[in-house]
Amino acid sequence: MTRGSRKSWQYFGLGLAWFYLLLWPLLGIRDGELHFADAFAVWLRVAVGATICFVLYRLGKAGRLDGVLSPLAAARDAVGDALGRAPRWMLLAPVIVFALAYPMLTNRYAQDVAINVLVYICLGLGLNVVVGLCGLLDLGYIAFYGVGAYTYALLSVHYSVPFWVCLPICAIFAAVAGCFIGYPTLRMRGDYLAIVTLGFGEIVRIVINNWMALTGGPNGILGIKSPGIYIPHFVDGSFSFEYLLLRKLEYLYYIILALAAFTIVAVHRINFSRIGRAFEAIREDETAAELMGVDTFRFKLLAYALGAVFGGLAGAFFAARMRFVSPESFTFIESAMVLAMVVLGGMGSIPGVILGALALVALPEAFREFELYRMLAFGGAMAVMMLVRPAGLWPAARMGKRSDDTE
Amino acid sequence: MDYFFQQLINGLTLGGVYALVALGYTMVYGIIQLINFAHGEIFAAGGYLGVILLSYMASQGLMDSHPWFGLAFALILAMGYCAMLAMAVEKVAYKPLRQSSRLSVLLSALGMSIFLQNGLMLTQGVYDKAYPTEFTHGGFEWLGVRVSFMQIGILLVTTLLLVLLNTLVFRTRIGKAMRATAQDKVMSALVGIHSDKVISTTFAIGAALAAAAGIMVGLYYGSVRYDMGFVPGIKAFAAAVLGGIGNITGAMIGGLIIGMVEILAAAYIPAGGEYKDVFAFVILIGVLYFMPTGIMGENVDDTRV
């Protein structure tokens, strides 16, 4: 055992002792008595888990695990190479076929989860335009989702406007809201921008919560219509269109699949267009981009508006699917969830965001019995990810380091 | 006019509490340019520890003879606990990220905030926890303005802590080291200031002040809740920005202004009560838009904002 490793073990032990000291007052003092067993039981579990992780980490660092890790790394590289060489349609075709056949293979519950994942993919990709491409940290993104949802809810309940007509209206409203929020914040950078967008998100939520006459306040809006389609109808040789409301989960699945596909294609097109390059230039170095003739003001506003459009579309679908909206769905924690998807998956990378949405929505469903610990694990995972893999699970191909960070 | 003075006293009490929380934000931001999102949760943890300790002492009969002593004891223990908690958070989530991008640290802070909030929820339950009531009643009326002993207590403790902090920052060695590190980290390291230690101390001091604020808010409203840290946290951050972030006097003034505005708006603007949380955000956005360096802030160079 070297001196360095002894020292790290000492720190590790100190950390565990520190953790017990922090844990005990919260669990140990109650009902006028001091308990030690409960806190110790929780501590022991965490301590065993942490020790295993720490031993693995030390072994990996000392090179003892090379026998296992290097073949694994080699296998990963080989698979990566093979995938890289295969034409793109060969990779995409099975995914598309699977996505289309999904409702036939699965039950209601699985479809429900899939719909959730797809909604979050739309949201994540929308936020990805703002955060991943343009580098503007937005902590109030869920406000646009809320704007979309409430726009459809109000139009549907009061004027019974059909879903398909509302979809572009919701997108436009969300884009306007995006410009509205984007405009005053454009002078700010980094941290200040984050906190101001957070403030805007909260303002939207508080207004929704308190404007009883329009939004019903905390009671929300009930009786929103599902999306409908006209289907050709033949009766006794005469031909007519019949209006059918799509209430079944499978139909809703296909609608959100179409929306998600539209979002993926659109974000991909934005990413590799002139606009996308301008966004990336702003992300890498705003001052330099400005000097090279990028109209940063216009493009940052555009990024907000474009990001908001996808949030608005997802919001309209959410309202149509739940047939109920209330302010509870648009809290800060939802914004943090979407942001975590973008960051965990890999900022600026479309497959990364999809992976992030899958990881954060579908994985917790697999561990339902630990439901209570879900947000705890989620917060912890966010911090740990930043420590071990700041670029995300599937990093974007083009990504530099912001000039602000190198001060 | 009586009504106005009444609201003024209420605003002063609340503003003092915001000022205490704001100091934690402003000191940390001044030294490592990080919005410490977890600060609001440390404030909540302080409030919870107050409840835990006070109800334990009450059940042991220690509160019967000298309740205010008991309260002071709980206050000091909670401050120590939160200082330890903040140092642990700093070591785990921020220190390893010193060299990485600003966004990473910010997200790590956000993750830590969610983690702590849910840790509080899991250990303490989702329901409100009530503070013992013996401190809430009692008070006097003076020229038609009702002042409770608790409000006076809060004002006294706040003032005492602010004075102590000022002495610490401007009259002691560690305070000097903190100011030097805030000004230039590399240079102060070169002249022998241990920057890691200074940063840890800063986190601990800020957290202790937040813990005191947590207990006082718990006493003021009578109960604590696991998610009570979020909104006051943001308001306190708004106060720090309003005063000019990184500036200690500014944070105090900012806190007082935010508290006053909130109370007066709730009292005088129609439907102001429902929208009272909006005012802090509106002030924040307004300040950043029209005077990005706040009231007492200096002109910081472009890359820092």
Does the pLDDT value for residue B2 go beyond 60? yes
SS3 content of chain A, % helix, strand, coil (to 5): 75, 5, 15
Instruction: Tell me what pLDDT residue B9 has.
Output: 86
Residue B155 lies in a domain: yes
Cα(A151)–Cα(A319) distance, rounded to whole angstroms?
9
Residue B49 confidence (pLDDT): 93
SS3 B126: coil
Report yes or no on B304 lying in a domain: no
Q: B111 contacts in A (CB within 8 Å)?
A: 340, 378-386
Q: Nearest C-alpha of chain A: how many angstroms from B285?
A: 6
Instruction: Considering only residues B268 and B76, tell me which one the structure prediction assigns the higher pLDDT.
Output: B76
Residue B296 lies in a domain: no
Q: Taking 50 as the threshold, does the pLDDT of residue B303 lie above it?
A: no
The Cα-based distances of B174 to A50, B29, B191, B245, B246 in angstroms read 34, 17, 14, 20, 17
Contact B254/B299 with Cβ under 8 angstroms? no
Q: B58 lies in a domain? A: yes
One-letter identity of residue A118? L
d(CA B89, CA B76): 20
Is the pLDDT at A183 greater than 70, yes or no?
yes
- CA-nearest residue to B35 within chain A is A191
Q: Which of residues 207-226 of A touch B (CB under 8 A)?
A: 207, 210
Q: Note the pLDDT tens digit of each residue in A268-309.
A: 999 888 998 899 888 888 888 889 888 888 999 999 999 999
Residue B202 banded pLDDT, cuts 50, 70, 90? very high
Beta bridge partners of A30: A33
Q: In whole angstroms, give the CA distance from residue A29 to residue A404.
A: 46
pLDDT value of position B301: 42
Q: What is the DSSP string of A263-319?
A: HHHHHHHHHTSHHHHHHHHHHH-HHHHHHTT--HHHHHHHHHHHHHHHHHHHHHHHH
Contact B105 A29 (CB under 8 A): no
Tokens of A406: 């190198």
Backbone angles phi, psi at A238, to 5 degrees: -85, 150
Residue B221: its pLDDT value, please?
Answer: 86
Beta strand pairing status for B145-148 and A29-30? unpaired
Contact A202 B303 (CB under 8 A): no
Q: Give how far Cα B142 sits from Cα of A291, B5, B13, Å.
A: 64, 11, 17
The residue ranking higher by pLDDT, A318 or B282, is A318
Instruction: Tell me phi and psi for residue A228, to 5 degrees.
Output: -125, 160
At residue B218, does pLDDT exceed 80? yes
Position B274 pLDDT exceeds 80 = no
- Report if residue B274 sits inside a domain: yes
Please list every residue in chain A whose beta carbon sits closer than 8 Å to the beta carbon of residue B302: 287
Q: Domains in chain B: how many in total?
A: 1
What pLDDT digit, counting tens, does each position of A4-48 carry?
778 888 888 899 999 998 888 888 887 777 888 888 888 999 899
The answer, for A343 touching chain B at a CB cutoff of 8 Å, is: yes
- DSSP calls for A341-376: HHHHH-TT-HHHHHHHHIIIIIHHHHTGGGGGGHHH
Choose the closest CB to B96 out of A196, A381, A387: A387
Residue B209 lies in a domain: yes
Distance, in Å, from the CA atom of A283 to the CA atom of A402, rounded to the nearest integer, reads: 7
Q: What is the mean pLDDT of chain B?
A: 86
The reply to whether residue B284 touches residue A195, judged by beta carbons under 8 angstroms, is: yes
Q: What is the pLDDT of residues A244-258, one digit of tens each?
A: 677 778 888 888 999
- The answer to whether A241 faces chain B, any CB pair under 8 Å, is no
Contact B110 A382 (CB under 8 A): yes
Name the band, by pLDDT with cuts 50, 70 and 90, for residue B82. Answer: very high
One-letter amino acid of A303:
A
Higher-confidence residue: A240 or A285? A285
Task: Give residue B212's domain range.
Answer: 2-290
| Contact yes or no for B53 and A19 at CB 8 A | no
Contact criterion met (CB below 8 Å) for A339 and A131: yes
Closest CA to A347 of A79, A118, A136: A136
Task: Report the gap between the CA of B156 and the closest CA in chain A (Å).
Answer: 27
Give B151 or B295, the one with higher predicted confidence: B151
- Is the Cβ–Cβ distance between B218 and B229 less than 8 Å? no
Distance from CA of A159 to the nearest CA of B (A): 29
Cβ count within 10 A of residue B290 = 8
Token readout for A121 is 């993919």
Find, in chain A, the residue whose alpha carbon is nearest to that of B235.
Answer: A199
Choice among A49-53, A229-233, B50-54, B99-103 with the minimum mean pLDDT: A229-233
Q: Can you give the pLDDT at residue A310?
A: 94
Range with lowest mean pLDDT among A139-148, A172-181, A242-251, B45-54: A242-251
What residues have CB less than 8 Å from B112, skipping those under 6 apart?
Answer: A379, A383, B37, B38, B41, B89, B92, B93
- Complete DSSP assignment for A113-163: HHHHHHHHHHHHHHHHIIIIIT----S-THHHHHHHHHHHHHHHHHH---H
Is residue B284 a contact partner of residue B238, using CB atoms and an 8 Å limit? Answer: yes
Confirm if A238 and A293 have CB atoms less than 8 A apart: no
Inter-chain CB proximity A403 and B105 less than 8 Å: no
Which chain B positions have a beta carbon within 8 Å of A137's beta carbon? 103, 106
Q: How distant is the alpha carbon of residue B118 from its chain centre?
A: 20
> Residue A269's pLDDT is what?
92
Q: Is residue B303 part of a domain?
A: no
Average pLDDT of the segment spanning B242-267: 88
Is pLDDT of B283 > 90? no
pLDDT digits (tens, 9 = 90+) for A91-148: 788 888 888 888 888 888 888 889 999 999 999 999 999 988 888 888 889 999 999 9
CATH of the domain at B279: 1.10.3470
Residue A316: what pLDDT? 93
pLDDT, tens digit, 9 for 90 and up, residues A155-167 = 988 888 888 888 9
Residue with tokens 């990364």: A352
Is a pLDDT exceeding 90 seen at residue A366? no
* Cα–Cα distances in angstroms (integers) from residue B254 to residues A119, B7, B12, B251, B283, in the given order: 40, 18, 12, 5, 10
Res A403 pLDDT > 50? no
ipTM of model:
0.84
pLDDT of A406: 45
Q: Note whether A22 contacts B: Cβ–Cβ < 8 A.
A: yes
Is B295 part of a structural domain of the chain? no
Rounded Cα–Cα distance for residues A162 and A320 (Å): 10
Across the interface, do B104 and A386 touch by the CB < 8 Å criterion?
A: yes
Tokens encoding B99? 């060299």
Q: Which residue in B76, B281, B291, B301 has the most chain A C-beta atoms within 10 A of its own C-beta, making it the best mutation to test that interface?
A: B281
pLDDT value for B295? 74
- B293 three-class SS: coil
